[in-house]
Chain A
């Protein structure tokens, strides 16, 4: 039986691990390669790197981070942030990433999903979706809207429509991030997650809001998520991945318990 996946998310800026609250006030807190290795040892099922560097110098540093991670840990990991072309994808995949994720880039140019899937296979292409709750309207019937530019810009795109469209375009997986919940540690947006996950046939990773192991239990059961992203709760060492997995295992969620 397939296990649910626990995925720590490492935000990287200029080669350093960082974590922000609601996408603001990022504080650098360490070496991403060391953090990845520690999470690998604790039983992480996969790792997500999100490169929030703006400059092109920073991109080269990120490729070096990817290469060093790939030589150190032997589980899948994905890299997102600033990936605009198939050539950008190729660089991170050749450096050792299993998957790439596109977010704002795909809103602006949806064909990047199709081109990436054609070049590397759908399993390589993750669509990152940043979502905010809004009033239901004819334009946004599901009541959740896609936002870009780190949550600053509303796009008028309905989140459920975009998830289905991304699947049709060839995305192999969706990483669904609630901006409202991001960094709050007060729980995932379970209703949003269940709505998206039950309406697409590709796996959905829930993201944003994890603070307690109970939050993961909720989103992996009632939220129908295939995987759960975590950040602050492990970065600040209030919990370890192995403790979280042991808790979920006791609660009857299928977990990979030997590593």
Chain B
């Protein structure tokens, strides 16, 4: 299931391989959705791809070190600048910001803003909240977006994280989630969409997002 599956419609969804966690779960979801995909760190293949998914589980420091070491850092920035639809997932979403408090890491700087640690003393109904934020939580959408077409209000997605994205410009916020505080769980700007949750582990609504992304032309209004 992990070989390149090229089809006539000439779409090819490249999943960036940067040794950060389990990339195979995103691949399995695309396989299930019958989408053409490959897992790659080859710049030439990334350039040819119609869509790019930047997933990842793990720590920001190690991930950025690997991206710099391989030159993928510049690759990813230039793919976004060239207008290719890019979907960030979890750690992939965090490292496209300027800075992460995790390991005090300078990141790719594609999204103005930083990634911050949930405060230690958060409460809900008088009870302390646990870190990581692990489990199913709701996303409130601030506007419509083609990648989230047909996603009902109040649907939950699966989260696992201790750090949360904080974009500088509110115009980049597409979705908000409550966990002790309200944080940005979806970033969207032009050809870029980045989610803090795991669509590949979020049941049918998550699969719908992946399918929408694979058919998306890269404009935030369609």
Contact = CB atoms under 8 A, between A and B. Distances in A.
Contacts of B29: 74
A70 interface: yes
A94 B59 CA distance: 19
B151 to A, nearest CB: 10
Main secondary structure of the interface of B (DSSP, over half): mixed
Interface residues of B, number: 42
Main secondary structure of the interface of A (DSSP, over half): loop
Nearest to A98: B201
A172 interface: yes
Contact of B160 (A96, A123, A259): A123
Contacts, number: 93
B202 A74 contact: yes
B7 to A, nearest CB: 20
A227 B32 CA distance: 28
B136 A2 contact: yes
A93 interface: yes
A226 B135 contact: yes
Contacts of A227: 135
Contact of B203 (A98, A173, A226, A259): A259
A44 B22 CA distance: 22
Interface residues of A, number: 32
A75 interface: yes
B24 interface: yes
Interface stretch (B37-45, B75-83, B124-132): B124-132
Contact of B137 (A2, A70, A75, A94): A2
30 contacts: A1-B137, A1-B178, A1-B179, A2-B179, A3-B137, A40-B203, A45-B135, A70-B28, A71-B1, A74-B29, A74-B32, A74-B206, A75-B158, A75-B201, A94-B22, A96-B24, A96-B25, A96-B28, A98-B25, A121-B21, A121-B57, A123-B57, A123-B132, A123-B134, A172-B134, A226-B130, A227-B135, A256-B156, A258-B152, A259-B203
Interface of B: 1, 21-22, 24-25, 28-29, 31-32, 57-59, 124, 127-138, 152, 154-156, 158, 160, 178-179, 198, 200-207
Given A74-B206, A98-B201, A121-B21, 16 more contacts: A2-B129, A2-B133, A2-B137, A3-B137, A4-B135, A70-B24, A74-B207, A96-B28, A120-B21, A120-B57, A122-B132, A123-B134, A172-B132, A201-B130, A227-B135, A259-B203
